[in-house]
């Protein structure tokens, strides 16, 4: 099975300081990777570096591709959720097809699939600027899905969504992975990550400190060292239950 994305010693500096420090991993079809780490750990910078949106050292396989093929290989959902124009939500979703040159036969089908997956049928004709924050977030996820790129890189995709919408997004990601794609998503909700990701990569000060199954990564020791929390995790047959309990003082 060939990897959909490979990073080798990816390093991104801000000034002299590396905020992403020699990160290497490969993303295989079928994976839903949760990128974890406290605020400032380097998750956004890593995703932007991997996409070739920031100057970097080391190598990302995406940057071997010219902008058009790169966008057809990887879609990006940025952390910023602002929609500036009062265009219908479905037209925002359609922007995901830009990577394919526009006006192609498959475009409308891809747009319809994305709208259906994100449950946007009742919102599709509303001006996107008049939607709530969570509704706009779902429209922007649909835009990324409409791109139908194998790799979906999503920066805090569940931020601002209600619990049902959070689960729905993770289930959409699971479907994307089952269909042969892969997802790399930064997540602050460790319970959601434990339950829905096939693999977790934990960052601390720009370095990968754990990479494995949720059970391998969400250990008491890693949570204490990297997140400075005590937590309760139960690995139940019907999925893990996670609750952060307290902050460990320095
Ligand atoms: N434009 C910038 N100039 C200088 N430093 C920056 C810049 N952008 C980010 N940084 C620094 O790089 C580090 C990593 O930031 P990044 O946004 O990647 O973290 P993150 O893990 O995504 O955090 P969060 O969970 O808060 O979104 C932080 O220390 C941040 O202050």
5-219 topology per CATH: Rossmann fold (3.40.50)
Q: What is the predicted pLDDT for the residue at 115? A: 97
Q: What is the predicted pLDDT for the residue at 93? A: 95
Atom of ligand 1 nearest to the CA of 188: 25
**DSSP reduced 3-state for 180:** coil
Residue 113 sits at φ, ψ, to 5 deg, of: -60, -45
Compute the distance from residue 200 Cα to the ligand 1 centre, in Å: 20
Mean pLDDT for back-to-back runs of 10 residues, the chain (250 residues): 93 93 97 97 97 94 92 93 90 90 80 96 95 94 96 96 95 97 97 97 97 97 96 94 92
Locus of tokens 């359609």: 94
Which residue owns the Cα nearest ligand 1 atom 4?
14
Q: What is the predicted pLDDT for the residue at 84? A: 86
- Helix (H) / strand (E) element for 143: namely helix 133-146
Compute the distance from residue 18 Cα to the ligand 1 centre, in Å: 11
Within a 10 A sphere around the Cβ of 189, how many other Cβ atoms?
Answer: 19
Compute the distance from residue 40 Cα to the ligand 1 centre, in Å: 5
Q: In what order do the strands lie in the sheet with 5-14?
A: 17-27, 5-14, 57-60
Give the predicted TM-score (pTM) of the model: 0.95
* Per-position DSSP letters for 195-219, written without gaps between them: HH-SEEEEEETTEEEEEE-HHHHS-
ipTM: 0.98
Q: What is the predicted pLDDT for the residue at 105? A: 73
Atom of ligand 1 nearest to the CA of 206: 14
CA distance 34 to 187: 6
Could you tell me the two tokens for 153?
A: 């890189």
**DSSP reduced 3-state for 39:** coil
Give the closest residue to 117 by CA, choosing from 193, 173, 195.
Answer: 173
Spatial CB neighbours of 128, under 8 Å, sequence gap ≥ 6: 83, 85, 86, 87, 88, 89, 91, 92, 136, 139
């Amino acid at each position: 099975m060939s990897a959909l994305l490979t990073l080798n010693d990816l390093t991104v500096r801000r000034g002299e300081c590396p905020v992403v420090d020699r990160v290497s991993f490969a993303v295989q079809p079928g994976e839903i990777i949760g990128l974890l780490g406290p605020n400032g750990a380097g998750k956004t910078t890593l995703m932007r570096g991997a996409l070739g949106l920031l100057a970097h050292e080391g190598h990302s396989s995406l940057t071997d591709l010219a902008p058009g093929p790169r966008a057809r290989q990887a879609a990006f959902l940025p952390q910023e959720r602002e929609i500036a124009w009062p265009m219908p939500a479905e037209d925002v979703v359609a922007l995901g097809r830009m990577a394919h040159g526009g006006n192609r036969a498959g475009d409308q089908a891809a747009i319809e699939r994305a709208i259906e997956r994100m449950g946007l049928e009742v919102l599709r004709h509303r001006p996107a600027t008049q939607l709530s924050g969570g509704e706009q977030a779902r429209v922007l996820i649909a835009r990324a899905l409409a791109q139908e790129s194998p790799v979906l890189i999503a920066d805090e995709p569940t931020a601002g969504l209600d619990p049902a919408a959070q689960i729905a997004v993770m289930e959409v990601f699971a479907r994307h992975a089952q269909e042969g794609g892969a997802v790399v998503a930064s997540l602050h909700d460790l319970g959601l990550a434990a339950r829905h990701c096939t693999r977790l990569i934990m960052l601390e000060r720009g370095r990968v400190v754990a990479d494995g199954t949720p059970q391998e990564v969400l250990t008491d020791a890693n949570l204490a060292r990297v997140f400075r929390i005590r937590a309760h995790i139960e690995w139940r047959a019907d999925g893990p239950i996670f609750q952060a309990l307290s902050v460990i003082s320095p």
